[in-house]
């Protein structure tokens, strides 16, 4: 059987085109005639495969540029130009494995033939016709969502939506429904836009407003309300898999993750342009909005590490897959994860594209760090004054230390007296002449026992500023970190917090290194470090060490070490030098140390930490992984976007931040055909219950086609031309006659379009869990409209190494906030509303299901929450309507349904109140379809 490569489906078989085309530019010069005279005869004689019955007609030969560039189903590039040792074809022809060697039967290539192939590849693998071959194989697609957005021609300015909807209805012989009445309409608007019903006063004001622009004025009020941002933030949180715990078996809490949730709400309320919204979430650290990068790390995070390198690498691959998948589905409507192990089976996404996007996020890590925007906002003059005071006192203390050292050296009779004091667990300081540095590396050579531990590594510049803080953009890396301990993670080495509970521990007995990279070159002269400044632990102290600085990447110079210190003394103390000072100066030194400790406590209060993206300035290189296996590395992949759309032109070793900035710019570009379409479709989906594309996170070939492609294009184009304003598009939708239609069924239309996808009416649907709970609290009068800050719990928490969560059975006013502020726990649902298809943040939820189960009915009728709210509602009805059942029933209907009861409802409601009491009446109303649905 000849050496061969199999022909593949066109989308699957071009994964090497971009690689080959780019590599050609960097390859060393080689004579194409060498290919013709030496290489081609080998390939021509040995390397082809035949497919189908007509072998001569269908054979695909490797002795052509097309065959070589195309490759085959294995997913491997046939060659790596300039590196024959890494080339797949060489590995196959030299393999000793009978299942892998090529050709699998017959004579193997001779050593001379193999050497010829090696020489050709090492020289750059030049061949005639490769540019034309690459052009013929360039990835293309005719799929609708990848085509440029073209604004359709419409005749009715201001009524474009209705014109495009009506055209589709007429194609099917249908007509739209009449407008809904005003009471129904205001309730629909409030439930869709705020997730709560209007108050009776708001309803009456609108119903009785005779002005011609009454509805337009209502839209202005609805969109300006802070309730709007809360409602629509919850939708976005579904899309980006937001939750407040890590998930997995430990499921630890992320008590500072809420900063990202608050960022979403504020962004939507302020109508932040969507292109800016995208850029901030992917690269907010470059734009001064750290909280936005919570998007990158909002997904699950496994903190239990394994000594098995395979499992450790797979964990990291899963983290990066979460970032790639969520970015792809949220912004582009593409299922990028399907290309993790092979080329996408349906869409023009190569396996290389998946790893190129993974390379963009290779420097992103989970964890807490200080929010620079919060620190700056809170600081002002007070923080500046405290910092200045700290710098001055440190300088005074340094002067006393130097005086003590000089006194000690002058009086010391032997060499040991010239050594610095031994290291200690509480506080150690290294001083050296001012030195330019982009990074500092602390290498630990020995400890007093176990793996080394450092609670904080502080590096000060000439002005006394700690340039090592993560909040200032410094990036920490290490030889390794002891797994399984949240209080001993790498992020604690420069988080500005001290003590054992905020420390880093190496994963190597007695050894390890930690490195701090600066965002910009700094002139440093002092380093302070400690094992435990709370003086509770004195184990794991680095006793032998070396500190190096790099003025430029990779060039290290030692500036301090343990060699000039006295042997380690477990009882050493940072105040040892006091004894070498006169009494008055020793007392001053003690006071300075006390003052500095108090200053640090006050300064720390200005720093607000959040669970957001943590970044490595120089990420490790990314490789394409054969079948997605972390141990099966193939060629290096540069950070990039999708091959089918072009390239970002980034280098393999591009700095982390620049990678994310460039990707965000590409996603948010007006020329990107996916981004605007995906977002306006989401707006339509949450407004009508179904999107124009009813697979809102899959615009690929495996997703649905748009029911109204011209409408989708018009909305996308209008979105970009309107400055990426989300509220602008929503206002257009809400003002349309399509949105204002009655929801009443019609037999003629239902016979042709039972699901209402053609928009012949406003299709009713049940509210989501959050809107149901918020509406219950609103009508009972118990709703707490406090915005922002830490979330409330609907779970009782048992804190152990593995967290345990149990649904609450009793509720207090602390749990009466809007459900967007719920502390959302992965893999756990509250006892009442979790049954209403409520996502837990374990994965992206682009479109919630709407199940109908007995448990839902039982929860709404018998749960302690419903009983409690029924009591509160009964109290409200008595207070506001008096003791007359007729008045109580009338008020209840206006609260629940934004309308008065008809005669039948009025009579039977009053009779029920008299017979069974207000509390039973309230429970019945909470369970009515009219309350639970938007019509």
pLDDT number for residue 462: 84
pLDDT number for residue 416: 43
**Torsion of Cα atoms, 481 then 486 then 492 then 495, to 10°:** 150
pLDDT number for residue 413: 39
Q: Which residue has the higher pLDDT, 201 or 533?
A: 201
pLDDT number for residue 419: 83
- Tell me: pLDDT of 412 over 70: no
Helices (H), ranges, 110-193: 111-122, 130-137, 160-171, 182-193
pLDDT number for residue 18: 34
Q: How far is residue 567's CA from residue 124's CA, in Å, rounded to a whole number?
A: 58
Per-chain mean pLDDT for the chain: 88
- Both tokens of 141, joined, read 């697609």
Q: Which of 369-373, 458-462, 481-485 has the lowest mean pLDDT?
A: 369-373
> pLDDT band at residue 348, thresholds of 50, 70 and 90?
very high
pLDDT number for residue 666: 97
Q: How far is residue 299's CA from residue 365's CA, in Å, rounded to a whole number?
A: 11
> pLDDT band at residue 57, thresholds of 50, 70 and 90?
very low
pLDDT number for residue 63: 61
pLDDT number for residue 47: 55
Q: Which of 615-629, 814-828, 885-899, 910-924 has the lowest mean pLDDT?
A: 615-629
pLDDT (tens digit, 9 = 90+) per residue, 153-208? 998 788 999 999 999 999 999 999 999 999 999 999 999 999 999 999 999 999 99
> pLDDT band at residue 8, thresholds of 50, 70 and 90?
very low
The pLDDT of 7-34, averaged and rounded, is: 41
| Exposed/middle/buried for residue 74 (C-beta within 10 Å: 0-12, 13-18, 19+) | middle
- Tell me: pLDDT of 423 over 80: yes
Exposure string over 687-721, b if 16+ CB within 10 A, otherwise e? bbbbbbbbbbbbbbbebeebbbbbbbbbbbbbbbe
pLDDT number for residue 583: 84
Q: Which residue has the higher pLDDT, 507 or 600?
A: 507
Q: How far is residue 104's CA from residue 776's CA, in Å, rounded to a whole number?
A: 71
- Tell me: pLDDT of 9 over 80: no
pLDDT number for residue 527: 96
Residue 561's CB is within 10 A of a number of other CB atoms, namely 15
- Tell me: pLDDT of 106 over 90: no
pLDDT number for residue 920: 97
pLDDT over 70 for what percent of the chain?
89
CA 296 to mean position of chain CA atoms: 2
Q: Which residue has the higher pLDDT, 280 or 120?
A: 280
pLDDT number for residue 486: 82
CA distances from 537 to 298, 455, 532, 534 (A): 34, 11, 6, 8
> pLDDT band at residue 414, thresholds of 50, 70 and 90?
very low
The pLDDT of 502-515, averaged and rounded, is: 93
The pLDDT of 499-520, averaged and rounded, is: 92
The pLDDT of 478-502, averaged and rounded, is: 90
- Tell me: pLDDT of 124 over 60: yes
CA distances from 689 to 443, 675, 847 (A): 58, 20, 9
Q: Which residue has the higher pLDDT, 157 or 770?
A: 770
pLDDT number for residue 6: 34
DSSP codes, 829-871: --TTGGGTT---SSS--SS------HHHHHHHHHSHHHHHHHH
Per DSSP bridges, beta strands 364-365 and 368-370 are unpaired
pLDDT (tens digit, 9 = 90+) per residue, 205-256? 999 999 999 999 999 999 999 999 999 999 999 999 999 999 999 999 999 9
> pLDDT band at residue 837, thresholds of 50, 70 and 90?
very high
CA distances from 373 to 122, 126, 254, 337, 609 (A): 51, 53, 20, 33, 11
Per DSSP bridges, beta strands 933-934 and 765-766 are antiparallel
Q: How far is residue 644's CA from residue 320's CA, in Å, rounded to a whole number?
A: 22
What does the angle CA 500 – CA 506 – CA 509 come to, to the nearest 5 degrees? 115
- Tell me: pLDDT of 603 over 60: yes
**Are 196 and 774 within 8 A, CB to CB?**
yes
pLDDT number for residue 575: 61
Residue 292's CB is within 10 A of a number of other CB atoms, namely 28
- Tell me: pLDDT of 476 over 70: yes
Q: How far is residue 322's CA from residue 297's CA, in Å, rounded to a whole number?
A: 9
The pLDDT of 792-809, averaged and rounded, is: 92
> pLDDT band at residue 363, thresholds of 50, 70 and 90?
very high
**Are 198 and 898 within 8 A, CB to CB?**
yes
Identify the CA nearest to 830 among candidates 849, 844, 815.
815
Q: How far is residue 496's CA from residue 515's CA, in Å, rounded to a whole number?
A: 16
Q: How far is residue 455's CA from residue 535's CA, in Å, rounded to a whole number?
A: 11
Q: Of 122-126, 180-184, 802-806, which one has max mean pLDDT?
A: 180-184
- Tell me: pLDDT of 381 over 80: no
Q: Of 94-103, 117-126, 826-835, which one has max mean pLDDT?
A: 826-835
Q: Of 128-132, 354-358, 578-582, which one has max mean pLDDT?
A: 354-358
The residue assigned the tokens 């009728």 is 861
Q: Which of 104-113, 262-271, 671-680, 849-858 has the lowest mean pLDDT?
A: 104-113
pLDDT (tens digit, 9 = 90+) per residue, 280-319? 999 999 999 999 999 999 999 999 988 888 899 999 999 9
The residue assigned the tokens 């759309």 is 645
pLDDT (tens digit, 9 = 90+) per residue, 674-695? 999 999 999 999 999 999 999 9
DSSP letter at 438 equals E
pLDDT (tens digit, 9 = 90+) per residue, 706-765? 999 999 999 999 999 999 999 999 999 999 999 999 999 999 999 999 999 999 999 999
- Tell me: pLDDT of 152 over 50: yes
Q: How far is residue 353's CA from residue 358's CA, in Å, rounded to a whole number?
A: 8
């Amino acid at each position: 059987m000849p050496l061969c490569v199999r022909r593949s489906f066109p989308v699957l078989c071009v994964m090497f085109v971009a690689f080959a085309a780019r590599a050609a530019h960097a390859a060393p010069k080689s004579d194409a005639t060498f290919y013709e005279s030496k290489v081609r005869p080998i390939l021509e004689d040995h390397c082809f495969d035949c497919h189908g019955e007509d072998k001569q007609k269908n054979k695909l030969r490797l002795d052509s540029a097309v065959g070589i560039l195309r490759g085959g189903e294995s997913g491997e590039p046939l060659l790596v130009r300039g590196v024959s040792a890494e080339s797949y074809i060489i590995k196959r022809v030299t393999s000793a494995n009978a299942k892998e060697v090529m050709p699998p039967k017959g004579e193997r290539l001779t050593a001379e033939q193999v050497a010829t192939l090696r020489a050709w590849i090492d020289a750059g693998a030049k061949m005639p016709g490769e540019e034309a071959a690459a052009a013929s194989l360039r990835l293309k697609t005719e799929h609708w969502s990848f085509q440029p957005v073209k604004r359709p021609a419409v005749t009715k300015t201001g009524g474009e939506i209705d014109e495009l909807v009506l055209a589709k209805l007429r194609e099917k012989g249908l007509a739209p429904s009449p407008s809904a009445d005003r009471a129904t309409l205001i309730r629909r608007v409030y439930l869709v836009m705020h997730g709560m019903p209007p108050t009776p006063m708001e309803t009456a004001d609108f119903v009785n407003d005779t002005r011609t622009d009454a509805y337009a004025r209502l839209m202005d009020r609805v969109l300006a309300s802070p309730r709007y941002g809360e409602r629509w933030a919850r939708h976005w949180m579904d899309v980006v898999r937001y939750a407040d715990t890590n998930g997995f078996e430990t499921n630890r809490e992320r008590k500072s993750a809420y900063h990202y949730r608050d960022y979403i709400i504020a962004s939507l309320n302020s109508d932040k342009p969507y292109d800016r919204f995208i850029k901030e979430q992917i690269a907010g650290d470059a734009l001064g909005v750290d909280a936005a990068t919570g998007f990158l790390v909002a997904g699950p995070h496994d903190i239990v590490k394994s000594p098995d390198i395979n499992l450790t690498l797979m964990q990291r691959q899963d983290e990066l897959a979460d970032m790639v998948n969520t970015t792809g589905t949220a912004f582009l409507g593409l299922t990028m994860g399907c290309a993790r192990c092979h080329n996408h089976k349906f869409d023009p996404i190569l396996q290389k594209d998946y790893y190129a996007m993974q390379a963009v996020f290779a420097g992103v890590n989970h964890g807490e760090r200080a929010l620079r925007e919060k620190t700056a906002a809170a600081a002002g003059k007070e923080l500046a004054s405290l910092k200045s005071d700290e710098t001055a006192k440190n300088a005074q203390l340094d002067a006393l230390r130097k005086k003590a050292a000089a006194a000690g050296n002058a009086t010391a009779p032997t060499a040991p007296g010239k050594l610095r004091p031994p290291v200690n667990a509480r506080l150690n300081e290294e001083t050296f002449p001012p030195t330019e540095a982009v990074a500092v590396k602390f290498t630990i050579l020995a400890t007093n026992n176990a793996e080394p531990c450092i609670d904080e590594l502080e590096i000060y510049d000439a002005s006394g500023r700690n340039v090592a803080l993560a909040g200032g953009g410094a990036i920490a890396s290490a030889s390794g970190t002891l797994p399984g301990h949240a209080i001993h993670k790498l992020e604690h080495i420069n988080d500005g917090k001290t003590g054992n509970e905020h420390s880093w521990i190496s994963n190597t007995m007695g050894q390890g290194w930690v490195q701090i990279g600066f965002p910009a070159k700094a002139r440093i002269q002092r380093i302070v470090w400690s094992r435990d400044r709370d003086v509770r632990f004195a184990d794991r102290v680095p006793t032998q060490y070396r500190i190096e600085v790099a003025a430029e990447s990779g060039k290290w110079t030692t500036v301090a070490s343990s060699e000039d210190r006295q042997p380690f003394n477990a009882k050493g103390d940072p105040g040892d030098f006091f004894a070498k000072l006169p009494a008055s100066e020793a007392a001053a030194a003690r006071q300075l140390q006390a003052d500095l400790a108090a200053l640090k406590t006050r300064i720390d209060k200005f720093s607000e930490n959040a669970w957001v993206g943590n970044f490595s300035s120089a990420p490790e290189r990314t490789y394409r992984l054969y079948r997605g296996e972390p141990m099966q590395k193939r060629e290096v992949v540069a950070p990039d976007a999708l091959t089918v759309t072009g390239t970002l032109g980034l280098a393999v070793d591009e700095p982390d931040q620049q990678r994310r900035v460039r990707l965000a710019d590409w996603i948010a570009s007006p020329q990107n055909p996916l981004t605007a379409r995906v977002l306006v479709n989401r707006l339509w989906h949450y407004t009508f219950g179904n999107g124009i594309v009813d697979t809102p996170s899959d615009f690929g070939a495996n997703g649905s086609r748009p029911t109204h492609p011209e409408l989708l294009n018009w909305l996308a184009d209008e979105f970009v031309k309107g400055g990426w304003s989300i509220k602008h598009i929503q206002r257009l939708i809400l003002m349309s006659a399509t949105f204002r239609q009655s929801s009443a069924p019609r037999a003629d239309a239902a016979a042709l379009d039972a699901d209402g996808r053609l928009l012949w009416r406003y299709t009713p649907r049940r509210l989501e869990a959050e809107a149901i709970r918020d509406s219950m609290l609103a009508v009972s009068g118990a709703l707490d409209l406090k915005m922002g800050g830490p979330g409330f719990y609907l779970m009782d928490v048992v804190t152990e190494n593995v967290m345990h969560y149990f649904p609450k059975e009793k509720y207090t006013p602390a749990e009466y906030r809007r459900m967007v502020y719920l502390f959302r726990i992965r893999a756990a649902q509250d006892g009442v509303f979790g049954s209403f298809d409520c996502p837990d943040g374990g994965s992206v939820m682009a479109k919630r299901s709407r199940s109908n189960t007995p448990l839902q009915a039982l929860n709404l009728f018998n749960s302690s929450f419903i009983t409690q709210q029924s009591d509160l509602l009964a109290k409200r009805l008595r207070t506001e309507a008096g003791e007359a059942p007729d008045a109580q029933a009338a008020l209840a209907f206006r609260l629940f349904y934004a309308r008065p009861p008809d005669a039948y409802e009025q009579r039977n409601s009053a009779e029920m109140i008299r017979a069974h009491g207000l509390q039973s009446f309230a429970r019945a109303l909470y369970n009515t379809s009219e309350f639970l649905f938007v019509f």
